[in-house]
Amino acid sequence: MEEKILELIKNKKYGLLKTTLSEMNPADIALIFDVIEPGELTLIFRILPKELAAEVFVEMDSDMQQILIESFSDAELRAVMDELFMDDTVDIIEEMPANVAKRILHQTDANTRCMINQLLAYPDVSAGSIMTTEYVDLKRDMTVEQAFDRIRKIGVDTEIIYTCYVMDKGRRLQGIVSVKDLLLNDKNCIIGDIMDENIIYATTLDDKEEVAGLFEKYDMIALPVVDKEGRLVGIITVDDAIDVLQEEASEDIEKMAAILPSEKTYLKTGVFETFKARIPWLLFLMISATFTGAIISAFESKLTIFPALIAFIPMLMGTGGNSGSQSSVTIIRALSLGDIEFGDILRVIWKELRVGLFCGAVLCIVNFIKLYLVDFLLMDSFDLKHEISEMITVCITLFFVVIVAKFIGSTLPILAKKLGFDPAVMASPLVTTILDAISLFIYFTIAGVLLGI
Amino acid sequence: MEEKILELIKNKKYGLLKTTLSEMNPADIALIFDVIEPGELTLIFRILPKELAAEVFVEMDSDMQQILIESFSDAELRAVMDELFMDDTVDIIEEMPANVAKRILHQTDANTRCMINQLLAYPDVSAGSIMTTEYVDLKRDMTVEQAFDRIRKIGVDTEIIYTCYVMDKGRRLQGIVSVKDLLLNDKNCIIGDIMDENIIYATTLDDKEEVAGLFEKYDMIALPVVDKEGRLVGIITVDDAIDVLQEEASEDIEKMAAILPSEKTYLKTGVFETFKARIPWLLFLMISATFTGAIISAFESKLTIFPALIAFIPMLMGTGGNSGSQSSVTIIRALSLGDIEFGDILRVIWKELRVGLFCGAVLCIVNFIKLYLVDFLLMDSFDLKHEISEMITVCITLFFVVIVAKFIGSTLPILAKKLGFDPAVMASPLVTTILDAISLFIYFTIAGVLLGI
């Protein structure tokens, strides 16, 4: 499809292009528009029917949106903006440089401008920042028939019409009625009698990730948002909730891998931006490895007496790190999905200790067998006494390292959340660095006792 | 709220309990029911109004569902099953032991049973496995008024009525009409004239994760599913798509942390199950660390000449692992979101090499400064010549390790996907283990050249 469109553009077959594009989905058109030449873009964009043009515009990259806006006449800009839903307009303005944003605001009427400014004021992490202000409002003394009239009147410009909101004179939310309820009741029924007063709602300053979680829990397609006084100020639609959930998962994954989160897709992020997102943690973790180095340095002279011990350092540190990150990652995801909270910390610790005990025991035994069969029987280069005691040192260390790793890996994210930090940064890399130092410390302590060094 | 309900149950205030529960959301009631005593559960469940009871039942844990089913009379079981949507019934049957599943099937009529068996046959990863078979079907020669009559007739038992599907006599999908279209058109309009023929659909055997991705891309609330002959067999609703997206993210996160994915929430997974999900990778990674150990052993005698080199092993391996997992995790998520595909491999490599070059250079320089200031000036315990050449060895190694790590971390997941493996297992732990060995090899090679060992 993409090739066909680009071919049509190349051959300037605009009539056929218009027919083809008119039958396509806005999201697919936007993907193609994102890769065509800026000069051509303006031309092709003007071919689209007005409504489709606005729908495509919303789906495009902000860079391309900016190119288009700068090429628009004031009348064209107004035409596109008029078609947009309020939340999309706000998203676009947020991405634009100040002069472009100003020009957009200038093209909207005073009422809309006031509303946009209000929406722009909500913090980026709040429910207010993802809500739209267009919805169907009803009064409790309306009949079903009047409700349908109201939907017909304002429905064209409303994103989701299937849930209607019943408000009193002070715009306080009284109940909700779905179009399903309206369709399944007689046209003379009174809204107040059929509305559901048991409403799930959010307030403007709620965390948007928690609000998005409500969609998952309650299977809704829209959620009302009220201000501190209980007045309805907007609704959040399920498509925006999905975007928040996906962004949140991507962010958690990035933080777990010691990357500063970014909002752009991989190929659209520049080399320098990617570098900037990755270098801070790499630097921090490199510097903190100084402690691990210092522990080794302190035991350097003893290690030269038992040089075979050196060869086990990567395995011990690796197993400790892996055990710890298994726990931390599981706990971080569970915290993020709302499956556990701070009050569960003792249950978590008790569970992780038992899991650690089993894992530690199995790894300890398997490692002993492996050492005995491979390193001891096949490559007996050392004298017997050293070998056996070294093997025991390694295996006992392994056992304790795994248990400690599970304990630290599971408690740090919970404590981080309790203290108001983001639990996701307590994932693999940071936990691993801490565990590296602890693993070595356990190793050398046990070696000191068992080997007398 | 939970305390209040438990209090009412304890004091046997069933009248008040019924009123309170009737005003609550099914998902919230289910959370409370999941923690009450099995004996009491059956009693309390019978208090709920029929429809609410079924909605609560769907949201409950499968363990608790089984307890309830086993306490139900046949009539009660049939009453609950009658209220359920087809996809929920199938989900429940899939979780039950064979004898319970058989009993449920026994309580449904022949038609439903046939449909359930059909749905049960779709592979767990397919779009067919998450679809429901209840939807509003229209014919193209109906009027808007007739369409509304049809919705009123079958709407009560249908999960999502806001998108209606227009089919020909062979049940082939011709177009879709939203209730919004119906409401905004005159009641005498013909469906064929207002329906949208540009349909986004899935086929029964499509991968359910890719299908869920369509919801994100096209902002839909329901998606039709057709069979190989283009006949409509069911629809997927947005709430199920959200569940698939969230499960997929959790699975990727688990795989990235070397855990076998599980479907249960953290606290509901037993200690032994958690152990079983974690031990395979721990064992595999422990055994593979033998290679790293072998490389160190091979250089053991040389390391005793330059014991200071040992102290840098954790830092070099750690930085290599972190650099590599930054790349692999970013690429895995991008693959999973559909942002990149195999054809982008050269662009990805070219980008990662440049990012690696910058990161490597910065880490190399910062590490040299740090070594010079801290290790060299503050703790000058070695003779000068060794120190400087060792410092240079470490810094040059660091530079190359980071570049190699970025290269391997980014290409392995793409190659894995191309070969039909799951890219997510190419994340941190496996990549780290490979990089550990490579990092040491680079280290000792450079040390060999620069220090003449």
Q: Could you please report the per-residue DSSP string of A324-371?
A: HHHHHHHHHHHHHTTS--GGGHHHHHHHHHHHHHHHHHHHHHHHHHHI
The per-residue pLDDT for B428 is: 63
Q: What are the two backbone dihedrals, phi and then psi, of residue B139, each rounded to the nearest 5 degrees?
A: -110, 150
A145 touching chain B per CB within 8 A: no
Mean pLDDT of B132-143: 90
The per-residue pLDDT for B307 is: 78
pLDDT at B380 over 60: no
**Pick from B340, B362, B428: CB nearest A257:** B428
pLDDT at A211 over 80: yes
State which residue of chain B sits closest to A381, comparing Cα positions: B297
pLDDT at B374 over 80: no
**Pick from A272, A325, A436: CB nearest B318:** A436
Distance to chain B for A157, nearest Cα, Å: 11
Of residues B236 and A81, which shows the higher confidence score?
Answer: B236
Q: Does the beta-carbon distance from A339 to B267 stay under 8 Å? A: yes
B297 touching chain A per CB within 8 A: yes
Mean pLDDT of B349-359: 92
B118 touching chain A per CB within 8 A: no
The per-residue pLDDT for A448 is: 86
Of residues B302 and A320, which shows the higher confidence score?
Answer: A320
pLDDT at A260 over 60: yes
pTM score: 0.81
Instruction: Encode pLDDT of A115-159 as tens digits.
Output: 888 888 888 889 988 888 888 999 999 999 999 999 888 877 777
What is the distance between the terminal CA atoms of chain B, rounded to a whole angstrom? Answer: 72
Q: Does the beta-carbon distance from A326 to B282 stay under 8 Å? A: yes
The dihedral sign for the CA sequence B45, B60, B31, B220: negative
Strand A222-226 to strand A232-237: parallel, antiparallel, or no bridges (unpaired)? antiparallel
The per-residue pLDDT for B427 is: 67
Please write down the long-range contacts of B117-120, taking CB distance under 8 Å and 24 or more positions apart.
Answer: B119/B86, B119/B87, B119/B90, B119/B234, B120/B90, B120/B93, B120/B94
Distance to chain B for A265, nearest Cα, Å: 6
Percent pLDDT > 70 in chain A is 96
Distance to chain A for B59, nearest Cα, Å: 9
The per-residue pLDDT for B376 is: 62
CB burial class (10 A; 0-12, 13-18, 19+) of residue B282? buried
Q: Which of B240, B416, B223, B260 is nearest to B331 (CA)?
A: B416
Distance to chain A for B24, nearest Cα, Å: 7
Residue B174, classed as helix, strand or coil, is strand
Chain B residue numbers with beta carbons less than 8 Å from the beta carbon of A250 are 333, 337
Mean pLDDT of B48-69: 86
Band of residue B235 on the pLDDT scale cut at 50, 70, 90 = very high
177-216 of B, contacting A, C-beta below 8 A:
179-180, 183-184, 198, 200, 215-216
Q: Which two tokens stand for residue B229?
A: 């002959």
Q: Which two tokens stand for residue B165?
A: 């599907």
Q: Which two tokens stand for residue B63?
A: 């363990």
- Which of A290, A309, A328 would best serve as a mutation to test chain B binding (most B beta carbons within 10 A)? A290
B397 touching chain A per CB within 8 A: no
Q: Which two tokens stand for residue A258?
A: 């010691």
pLDDT at B386 over 80: no
Chain B residue numbers with beta carbons less than 8 Å from the beta carbon of A355 are 271, 274-275, 278
The per-residue pLDDT for A223 is: 93
Percent pLDDT > 90 in chain A is 23
Separation CA B185–CA A16 (nearest Å): 29
Q: Does the beta-carbon distance from B286 to A363 stay under 8 Å? A: yes
- Which of A19, A276, A310 would best serve as a mutation to test chain B binding (most B beta carbons within 10 A)? A310
Of residues B397 and A108, which shows the higher confidence score?
Answer: B397
Distances (CA, A) of A10 to A4, A5, A48, A49, A439: 10, 9, 17, 21, 63
Chain B residue numbers with beta carbons less than 8 Å from the beta carbon of A285 are 318-319, 322
Distance to chain B for A244, nearest Cα, Å: 11
pLDDT at B151 over 60: yes
Q: Does the beta-carbon distance from A310 to B303 stay under 8 Å? A: yes
Within 8 A by CB and 6+ apart from B8, the residues are B14, B16, B17, B20
Minimum mean pLDDT range among B200-204, B295-299, B397-401: B295-299
Count the neighbouring beta carbons within 10 Å of the beta carbon of residue A16. Answer: 11
**Pick from B161, B317, B333: CB nearest A314:** B317
Of residues B383 and B406, which shows the higher confidence score?
Answer: B406
Distance to chain A for B303, nearest Cα, Å: 9
Band of residue A379 on the pLDDT scale cut at 50, 70, 90 = low
Q: What is the mean pLDDT of chain B?
A: 85
Percent pLDDT > 90 in chain B is 23
pLDDT at B357 over 90: yes
Residue keyed to tokens 């980014």: B410
Q: Which of B368, B357, B361, B375 is nearest to B392 (CA)?
A: B368
The per-residue pLDDT for B385 is: 53
State which residue of chain B sits closest to A346, comparing Cα positions: B267
Q: Does the beta-carbon distance from A275 to B355 stay under 8 Å? A: yes
Of residues B375 and A21, which shows the higher confidence score?
Answer: A21
Q: What is the mean pLDDT of chain A?
A: 85
Distance to chain B for A99, nearest Cα, Å: 30
Q: Which of A120, A107, A109 is nearest to A77 (CA)?
A: A107
Complex ipTM over 0.85: no
**Pick from B24, B250, B300: CB nearest A310:** B300
Separation CA A78–CA A76 (nearest Å): 5
B139 touching chain A per CB within 8 A: no
Full DSSP string of B194-230: H-B-----EETTSBHHHHHHHHHHHT-SEEEEE-TTS
Instruction: Encode pLDDT of A148-197 as tens digits.
Output: 999 888 877 777 778 999 999 989 999 999 998 898 898 899 999 999 98
Contact B395, B368 (CB under 8 A): yes
**Pick from A179, A259, A285: CB nearest B162:** A179
Distance to chain B for A452, nearest Cα, Å: 20
